[in-house]
Chain A
């Protein structure tokens, strides 16, 4: 999994991705100076590594290696890396000092290994250190407000965390602080693990969402292009229509054009409405697809109730000899016809009345059913 960083690339400030390829400029295998591998498999607890690989390495024309005093002018390929004790030095020095094994840091004498160096992210090394500390603490102390019974205890916890962080950043009472961290870890192992998982999911979901958004953007662009096309066509046809209408109609020309414009507006506004609906359907479809496997959609059943409306007890005819609806059927003006009055509906209702309850026996004697409180309450 070797990674060849493109030196020319990062001079220009291009992105260096973890384990990845520089975004442009392709690969140029520069083999002269040995490269430090900056993959996430590096066991290193200092420095700041950006997981998404989007931040660029810190870079300045004034960079100078404190050990060998070389600078960019003399050595264009100069690259400064940071140690776990937060001291900078150039790659050649690192190579010189540590290739044969662990050695003390030239500045602070702390014993270091060659692997213990990372590229710098921040201009200010103190910031780099702080960020690194905070990142580490955040992993260890990841409780949330919900994990506490009340606001007070939550605030106490936060204060404790801040205290620890401060100590570590400023190298105060480091062993005791480390002990406190260890103690916390053992006490809350389960909860920490849980929260870790939750964050993991969150990050994962975030990635998915971004992916979806990107897809949607693409789709939208496509749609837009199509719409523009349609609009153009429509405009052409409406132009032709206007000309036709102007030729054939006797109305005022301005009015005809205004009418056509209004129609075109209506069409386009309706179109935009429909297209907004289509836009995020991709996202929902995915969620729905997941749901469908759990609850299936049953096929359509026209009527689902249990009511018997006596339909098998009579047949409705189209025509009846009926004195009540004479007027309706003779209706010369067609008022009732145009309005849609259906005398058949009145007949249907009468026929239903005629058969409803025909076979229901009357209540016998004095024994009421329990719901009939009125009868039950009557006592002599």
Chain B
């Protein structure tokens, strides 16, 4: 049954767009930030394991034997902590009156960040503040850093700015996100084109319920697995199965045997499950426990002022110094040894030298 439906869905795809690529399939969201649940789990576990190993080494380098007492976080616990901070974003957005676009984008950024990083290196608190700030910029609702930090207690500018580049880098500078709430709005508008859906069949409160489900979905992994339109449809299905079914069926490509609502049932079912089971904030107590343990096992290299941090800095500075030295040496050699007149052959060399000089990496 599942195989059948999968085959049908694939057919539909091929028939409707022969030779053409759909715009969503050309987006970075589709190309880079789409996973299966299994892949997500594997990525998180491997990230976690690698992080634990690295931090353990740092502990050992600092003080041999110190790491054996440390209870490092597991991947699941990391997720719990991240989820808590995800739930804080809507609160902040309400406070600042940011549009829904900002809220949804910031949450996406936060989720994606922790697919590349571990909480033991970077605590979600400041990362969350940074993703929100970044989201205001990328969605064209910018706010000055000054007014941002002054409205959040115990937050300095550097708390936000220091991480901004790191966050952008972790996102691979892929900053455009498609959202389910816009898709839901679209479905809601499109329902008005269906002849058999009269106004009384689509009262406002159904929409209100559906949008609540969309917002709940943001606390889950749904957007990393499914497309925004699928999430929106599932949310509508939770609010009014009838409307969802009618609308889905109207979108079936001509000549398909099964109605679309049936072929999509496995997908929609899975999303509905995710939303209802995992779409609520985590247990605060459990999170607090995790946070407590985090204080003991976080990576000292990332904590400004700690021994390991300073050691790392020194190492980096030494490397940079070395590089600078080498460049200065090269330049000096080039100037003293080069023939001022007949340098045609060495033009390329000189040019690369000039270029490298500018590189302040």
* Residues of A that sit less than 8 Å from B by CB: 306-310, 312-315, 317, 320-324, 347, 349-366, 368, 371-372, 374-375, 378-380
Q: How far is the CA of A355 from the CA of B190 in the complex (A)?
A: 10
**Shortest CB distance A55–B (Å):** 44
Does B331 belong to the interface (CB within 8 Å)? no
- Binary flags per residue of B34-50, CB closer than 8 Å to A gives 1, else 0: 11101100110111010
Contact check, A380 vs B49: say whether CB atoms are below 8 A apart. yes
A352: chain B residues at CB < 8 Å are 23, 186
18 CB-based A-B contacts, threshold 8 Å: A310-B22, A312-B16, A313-B16, A313-B251, A314-B193, A317-B193, A347-B189, A349-B186, A351-B186, A351-B189, A354-B185, A357-B24, A362-B36, A363-B36, A374-B115, A374-B116, A375-B43, A380-B49
Contact A379–B46 (Cβ < 8 Å):
yes
From residue 63 to 90 of chain B, which have CB atoms closer than 8 A to chain A? none
Of B54-62, B124-132, B228-236, B284-292, the one contacting chain A is B228-236
- Describe B's contact surface by its main secondary structure: helix
Q: State whether A320 and B251 are in contact (beta carbons under 8 Å apart), knowing that A309-B23, A310-B22 are contacts in the complex.
A: no
Q: Chain B residues near A314 (CB, 8 Å)?
A: 190, 193
On whether A366 and B23 interact (CB within 8 A), knowing A353-B229, A355-B186, A361-B10, the answer reads no
A349: chain B residues within 8 A (beta carbon):
182, 186
What chain A residues lie within 8 Å of B182 (beta carbons)? 349-350, 353-354
Contact flags B214-245 to A (C-beta < 8 A → 1, else 0): 00000000000111111011000000000000
Closest to A360 in B: B227
Per the bound structure, the CA–CA distance linking A354 and B35 in Å amounts to 21
B23 near A361 with CB under 8 A, answer: no
B345: Cβ under 8 A from any A Cβ? no
CB of B183 within 8 A of CB of A354, answer yes
Looking at B25-33, B157-165, B335-343, the stretch in contact with chain A turns out to be B25-33
Decide: A353 and B178 in contact? CB cutoff 8 A. Answer: yes
Chain B residues in contact with chain A, CB under 8 A? 6, 9-10, 12-13, 16-17, 19-26, 30-32, 34-36, 38-39, 42-43, 45-47, 49, 115-116, 178-179, 182-187, 189-190, 192-193, 199, 204, 225-230, 232-233, 251, 260, 264, 267, 270
A374 touches B230 (CB 8 A): no
**CB closest residue in chain B, given A366:** B38
Give A313 to B12 CA distance when docked, in angstroms. 12
In the assembly, what is the distance between CA of A320 and CA of B194, in Å?
Answer: 12
Taken together as a complex, chains A and B put the C-alpha atoms of A317 and B186 apart, in Å, by 12
Residue from the set B9, B227, B260 with the largest chain A CB neighbour count within 10 Å: B227
Do A359 and B12 touch across chains, with their CB atoms under 8 A apart? yes
CB–CB A357/B30 < 8 A: yes
Besides A354-B185, A363-B35, 9 other A-B contacts (C-beta < 8 A): A354-B187, A354-B189, A356-B24, A356-B228, A357-B230, A361-B6, A362-B270, A375-B42, A378-B42
Q: A351 near B190 (CB under 8 angstroms)? A: yes
CA distance A306 to B42 in the complex (A): 36
Q: How far is the CB of B118 from chain A (nearest CB, A)?
A: 13
Q: Please name all residues of chain B whose beta carbon is closer than 8 Å to the beta carbon of A363 when the two chains form the complex.
A: 34-36, 39, 225
Q: Let me know if B36 and A371 touch, CB within 8 A.
A: no
Kindly provide the distance from the CB of B175 to the nearest chain A CB, expressed in whole angstroms: 17
With A353-B179, A353-B229: A380-B23 Cβ-Cβ less than 8 Å: no
**Closest A residue to B252 using CB positions:** A359
| Also in contact, A354 and B232, with CB within 8 A (given A307-B26, A320-B189) | yes
Q: How far is the CB of B301 from chain A (nearest CB, A)?
A: 22
- State how many angstroms separate the Cβ of A144 from the closest Cβ of chain B: 21
CA distance A323 to B185 in the complex (A): 10
- Pair A361/B36 contact, Cβ less than 8 Å: no
Provide the residues of chain B in CB contact with A357, threshold 8 Å. Answer: 22, 24-25, 30, 227-230
The answer for the CA separation of A314 and B13 in the assembled complex, in Å, is: 16
The answer to whether B178 and A356 touch across the interface, beta carbons within 8 angstroms, is yes
Give which listed residue, A306, A350, A360, A375, contacts B183 with CB less than 8 A.
Answer: A350
Whether A365 touches B267, Cβ cut-off 8 Å, given contacts A307-B23, A353-B183, A357-B30, is: no
Chain A residues near B190: list those with CB within 8 A: 314, 351, 354
Residue of B nearest to A314 (CB): B190
Residues of chain A lying within 8 A (CB to CB) of residue B6: 361
Bound: A307/B23 CA distance, A = 6
What is the chain A residue whose CB lies nearest that of B46?
A378
- Complex: how many Å from CA A307 to CA B199? 35
Contact status A362-B39, CB under 8 Å: no
Q: In the complex, A323→B38 CA distance in Å?
A: 40
CA distance A185 to B23 in the complex (A): 70
A378–B35 Cα distance when bound, in Å, is 12
Query: A61 CB to closest chain B CB, in angstroms?
Result: 59
In the complex, chain A residues whose CB is within 8 Å of the CB of B228: 353, 356-357
